[in-house]
Amino acid sequence: PETAGQRRVAVIGAGGGGLTAARAFREAGFAVTVYEQAASPGGIWRAGGDVVYAGLRCNLPHQIMAFKDWPFAETETRGRSFVTARAVGEYLERYAEDVAPLVRYGTTVRRLERVDDDKNASATTRWRLEVVSSGTTDEDREEVVVDGVVVANGHYERPATLELPGAETFPGRVSHSRAYDRPEPYAGQTVVCVGARSSGTDLAKELVFDGRARRVVVADKACGATRAYFGGRLLHAPPIERLDPDGSVTFADGFSQPHVDEVVSCVGFDYDFPFFLEDDDLVSARGRVVAPLYLHMFHAEHADSLFFLGLPHSVVPFPLMQVQARAAVAVFAGRAPTFPGRDARRREMDDARAALARPKDAHHLGPRQWAYCKQLLRLAAGLDPNDHALSLVVNDDLAAWDTWIDTNRAVYDHVGPRRPAIPGAPDLYRDLEYDVDHAAGTWRCRNERDVDEALARLYRDAVADVPASGSAAAASDDDDGAVCDKTTSPPRADDPQVVVASRTT
């Protein structure tokens, strides 16, 4: 129960980020309420959700996906390191039990705005939320005023738009990967997947090898010339040039695939915060950039009371959001003496923005996620965020966190080179099995040799009858290791020839 004088915190969303934030703020002694529009916890992982497709298996081992000190249960993993979406949903349901009294399910935040205090210009910012419970109308909305807000509503609600020339006269279907659930309805069809990152490669693999699609073409901006694999059932092509009225799709290298039944956009999602007023300049989310944010999570002007969790991508999400929650608590509680002031934050933000090659990569971390987590942990501990060595001497708890992060990084780096070299190829890396001891900082892969031999056979057998043509392929960081030979001539639309690029690791 809330006590008199207790500072209040609202958390928007009961997915992984919202749940770990609720735990952190409650443990620090604050009054927490979580507002979740669904009827159960878990965000995109909850049972009955419409974002995660039926056959999804995670692309990271559960041993490094888990929150610190909250491992997956054996009943959830069923003895596998790479678990199903259902297992993650069960894991989050169990994680949510501890904060169940704090969560208001079936409640939507309609509006979030700053409370102006005209009488005291130096007063700490407070926030007003308008919330509506399911089964009621906007006239029954409730107003709540709090001292701090954690925005953890996820970023898989608003599909990114994809402009395709000729779409208005194309007779086939054009959809977003969010609408995809199972491969069986695509049996015997020709499909183009636009995008070669996680969703594009996973969907292509399911369609070709599980759903028996006739052909799948993965369109990828990192590819210079179309190549065919696995008997011509899987193609890797450059970006789409246009959709044609006769049902064909023409690619940037001139290759044309006829009789395309569906084009699936696998280009991800845009950030969306529908509870901020459109005419309010508090937060903008344009071009996949959320601004103005310091360190991807602190509002530049209200850094001690408005926090955003889970915006960075190409990361291990649950551990990163748990670290973000610790940092948010420390700053909110005034226990982060090394947290920079407004002017210093602005300078750092300007420098980070100037260093970006592409603005849309503003929240991409990838290999920088580990240093980012350590920086936040040091801020939360009141230490110099850039002094890693001295911090460990004076803080045993920080040393344990660092060991946990370093162990996760080692396993993450072990998985990476074993991902498919060809977008849509079988994902044998998900057969890897790990033993991880975070306390000791040790790990091992029990079947590395078996998986590596299976990978070698996969690519060797693919070229057994027809040798690879063209020069050795090159990998692109932007494509998570997708391979494309820029010297190979485009195949004919119905050519069964197999051309396989060399596997890079």
What is the rounded (10 degree) CA torsion for 315, 152, 330, 327?
A: 10
> Residue 41: which of 129, 103, 131, 133 has the closest Cα?
103
Query: If 0-12 CB within 10 Å is exposed, 13-18 middle and 19+ buried, where does residue 465 land?
Result: exposed
Rounded to 5°, the CA angle 271-277-278 comes to: 70
CA angle 242, 157, 315 (to 5 degrees): 90
Q: What is the pLDDT of residue 48?
A: 78
Give me the pLDDT at residue 356, please: 87
- CA 209 to each of CA 68, 83, 99, 204, 233: distance values in angstroms, whole numbers, following the listed order: 36, 19, 42, 8, 9
Residue whose tokens read 């996680």: 198
pTM of the model: 0.89
Which pair of structure tokens corresponds to residue 223? 């590819």
> How many other C-beta atoms can be found within 10 angstroms of the C-beta atom of residue 365?
19
Beta bridge partners of 437: 442
pLDDT of residue 470: 29
DSSP label at residue 277: -
Taking each helix axis from N to C end, the angle separating 85-96 and 16-27, rounded to the nearest 10 degrees, works out to 20
> 223-232, 280-289, 422-431, 462-471 — which is least confidently predicted?
462-471
- Min mean pLDDT across 152-156, 175-179, 340-344, 395-399 is at 395-399
User: 220-231 pLDDT, tens per residue?
Assistant: 999 999 999 988
Mean pLDDT, the chain, whole residue set:
87
pLDDT digits (tens, 9 = 90+) for 83-119: 999 999 999 999 999 999 999 999 999 999 999 765 5
Per-residue confidence band for 76, with pLDDT thresholds at 50, 70 and 90: very high
Question: Residue 279, class by beta-carbon neighbours within 10 Å (0-12 exposed, 13-18 middle, 19+ buried)?
Answer: exposed
How far is Cα 255 from Cα 491, in angstroms, rounded to an integer?
A: 8
Q: Above 60 in pLDDT, residue 22? A: yes
What element of type H or E holds 245? none
Tokens in use for 137? Answer: 């109308």
